[in-house]
Amino acid sequence: MAMALADLAPEWWPLSISATVLVAFVTLYAFAYQLSSRKIDPREPPVIAPAIPLVGHVLGMALLGGRYVKNLGIRNRNLPIFTLPVPGSRIYIVAEPSLAAAVQRASKALSFTPLVPEITQRVLGLDKPTVQITRRHLDPAPGEPRGFLADIQDMVYAWLGPGEYLAELSLAAATQMEREVGEFAAALSASGGEHRTDLLAWVRHLVTASTARYLYGPQNPMAADPSLEEAFWDFDHGLGALLAGVFPAVTARRAYAGRERLAAAMARYLEEGMHEAEGSAIVRERVRIALRHGWTLRAAAREELSFLFAGIVNATTTAFWVLLHVYADAELLAKVRGEVQAVLDTQTGKGKCGLSVAALRDRCPVLVATYRECLRLGSDTYSTRLVKEEMLLAGRYFLRKGAVVQIAGGVMHADTRIWGEDAGGFDYRRFLDGGGGGKREAEGEAETGKKKNPANHHYHPAAFRAFGGGKTLCPGRHFATNEILALVALVVLRFDVKGKGGGRIEVPPKNDGVLPVHVLEPVRPVEVVISEREEGGLGRGLEVEFGM
């Protein structure tokens, strides 16, 4: 090669061979860079060209996880929206609340549902005929036939919205948590009064076991085979790799194996009719809808894994962060305990204390503010939409058909202009002054009722992204709030939690180097010592009966 080049170089060529190669390379790079940074329409959002032409952004996302795009957004704070060129397409990143609200409103042109069949196929391992069914009648207009996804979404949103069923399921969840906590306390007394554990692992077990029970009854698959709990968390931790979908049986071996074990156990549970005998009403209805649309019970079992997943994973990690922050700060712990004890009814006369879930939500502002602050800090979520037809977002930004729009929750949750200079740190007081103490969740589209932070700044409701927004606003948000507040209340009433050597608890940062498919976990485990409280007569032997 070098010989050939030397022979080819004419006499008058002023550069050495290596300099020539360098110049050629730089020119080629500049050309490719130029090409990658080109707009396909003058109104397209500003383009951020990848450092490595063409594949740079994809590589960045693959290697650095959610942190890659989040950091791009934070570094380019002045851009409310920007374009990331990727091979064959574009990703538009929205980093500003009012544009996020515009994306949510443009639900005809920008929709998540066309992406669902492919995603669920990969994550759940659905068979071809079932995926065909999920592709039918996505996003039906009023009066058009409704497909499986539309039917199941309508039902879940309606049932988990404020009303009688929400109250019933919340009570069932709180009661199962009380049961799990009670069992733990009994074992604690029997084993000398102290339990050393990884806090997240401890919360995982409490939430997993109780969720499986209130959704699927006492003979749910995990109760029948406790090793399935581990299979569940293997499945969760390989979700990103399953989503990538490149030979999952090899690249996501543990997750794949865990999912298949769970799917088989859930299929057995459904085939034996256990859901009809002792499952929750919402599970029975989900299975009925699937069967009505021509699903087999085996496929429905996989769909149930996604529901179990939605019910367990985020609730676990959120409850973990709340407990961690509360126990890491003695003053905060005293405040939260004070609030919970103030709403505890010790006069029920049934040998138990009464605790109302609604009172936790409405009359424990510090507890609720802590919960919301943990969601803000812990969730770097992206709300994703496919551009179904070319459009101008907010009348200004050209979005190309077939591209993907992502609202970057991680960027907004870190925005000092929204949350104040200390946006990177934990401060529950941000959510204290909200007129109702955070009683209302971010309602996505609701643009009225702007909330305040302590510096008296208002923040846009679409700036709080933990539950998504618009059409993909989490249907389980009211329920999750009820259940998490109930769990935290039970734990602070009954237990002391100290750091490893019985000392202070350190709060590690979150691990944002993964795909943010759920509320982020800490970068390292938090070892704690749990013991029963003695003082105030509310420790040992306390029994709580939940009410609404």
Ligand X SMILES: *[C@@H]1O[C@H](CO)[C@@H](O)[C@H](O)[C@H]1NC(C)=O
Based on the shown chain and the rule CB under 6 A, indicate whether residue 312 belongs to the binding site for ligand X. Answer: no
DSSP label at 109? T
Q: Does 107 bind ligand HEM (CB under 6 A)?
A: no
String of contacts with ligand X for each residue 417-446, x by CB under 6 A: ------------------------------
472 binds ligand HEM (CB under 6 A): yes
CB 387 within 8 A of CB 89: no
Q: What distance, in Å, lies between the first and last C-alpha atoms of the chain?
A: 80
**Judged by CB under 6 A, which stretch of 57-65, 182-190, 222-230, 373-381 contacts ligand HEM?**
373-381
- Cβ closest to ligand HEM, residue 303 vs residue 532: 303
- Site for ligand X, residues 367 to 386, rule: CB under 6 A: 379, 381
Among 214, 428, 479, 495, binds ligand HEM (CB under 6 A): 479
Q: Find which of ligand HEM, ligand X, none residue 366 binds, CB within 5 to 8 Å per kind.
A: none
Binding partner of 318, given ligand X, ligand HEM, none, CB within 5-8 angstroms per partner class: ligand HEM
Partner from ligand HEM, ligand X, none binding residue 120, C-beta < 5-8 Å depending on class: none
Smallest distance from ligand X to CB 382, Å: 7
68 is a contact residue toward ligand X (CB under 6 A): no
At residue 398, φ and ψ (nearest 5 deg) are -75, 130
Binders of ligand HEM among 142-161, rule CB under 6 A? 153, 156
Does residue 300 belong to the site contacting ligand HEM (CB under 6 A)? no
Least distance between ligand X and beta carbon 466 (Å): 4
Q: Which of 518, 521, 530, 544 binds ligand X (CB under 6 A)?
A: 518
Which of 467, 492, 514, 526: binder of ligand HEM (CB under 6 A)? Answer: 467
Strand partners, 382: 408
**Six token digits for residue 61:** 């996302």
> Which x/- pattern over 120-139 shows residues binding ligand X (rule: CB under 6 A)?
--------------------
Residue 176 binds ligand HEM, judged by CB under 6 A: no
Query: Between residues 437 and 516, which has the closer beta carbon with respect to ligand X?
Result: 516
Torsion, Cα of 452, 77, 73, 325 (10° steps): -40
Q: Which part of the chain contacts ligand HEM (CB under 6 A), choosing from 8-16, 44-52, 245-253, 307-315?
A: 307-315
CA gap 305, 312 in Å, rounded: 10
Helices 477-494 & 199-216, crossing angle to 10 degrees?
Answer: 130
283 binds, among ligand HEM, ligand X, none (CB under 5 to 8 A by kind): none
Rg (the chain; Cα; Å): 26
Nearer to ligand X, 379 or 481 (CB): 379
Subset of residues 198 to 227 that bind ligand X, contact rule: CB under 6 A: none
Burial 102-122, CB ≥16 within 10 A → b, else e: bbbebbebbbbbeebbeebbb
> C-alpha angle with apex 469: 487 to 232, nearest 5 degrees?
45
Q: Which position among 476, 489, 497, 505 is part of the footprint of ligand HEM (CB under 6 A)?
A: 476
Q: Which helix (H) or strand (E) holds 203?
A: helix 199-216
Tokens of 357: 């879930």
Does residue 310 interact with ligand X by CB under 6 A? yes
Q: Which stretch binds ligand HEM (CB under 6 A): 56-64, 189-197, 329-337, 460-468?
A: 460-468
Nearest to ligand HEM by Cβ — which residue? 476
**Nearest 5°: CA angle at 422, between 417 and 423?**
60
Residue 488 near residue 371, CB atoms below 8 Å: yes
Q: How far apart are CA 490 and CA 451, in angstroms?
A: 29
| Dihedrals phi, psi of 353, to nearest 5 degrees | -90, 145
Q: How far is the CB of 472 from ligand X (least distance, A)?
A: 8
State yes or no: residue 170 binds ligand HEM (CB under 6 A): no
Sign of CA dihedral 424, 428, 432, 434: positive
In sequence order, what DSSP letters do the residues of 152-197 get, joined into one string? HHHHHHHHHSSSHHHHHHHHHHHHHHHHHHHHHHHHHHHTTSEEEE
Cα-Cα-Cα-Cα dihedral sign, residues 509, 513, 516, 521:
negative
Q: 399 near 92, Cβ under 8 Å? A: yes
CB of 119 to ligand X, least distance (A): 11
Work out whether 519 is an interface residue with ligand X (CB under 6 A).
yes
Instruction: Residue 475: name its binding partner from ligand X, ligand HEM, none (Cβ under 5 to 8 Å by kind).
Output: ligand HEM
Q: Is 480 in the site for ligand HEM (CB under 6 A)?
A: yes
Angle of the 281-292 helix axis to the 297-328 helix axis, nearest 10: 140
- Per CB under 6 A, residues contacting ligand X are 309-310, 314, 379, 381, 466, 474, 516-519
> Which residue ranges make up the site for ligand HEM (CB under 6 A)?
112, 153, 156, 310-311, 314-315, 318, 375, 379, 381, 383, 466-468, 472, 474-476, 479-480, 519
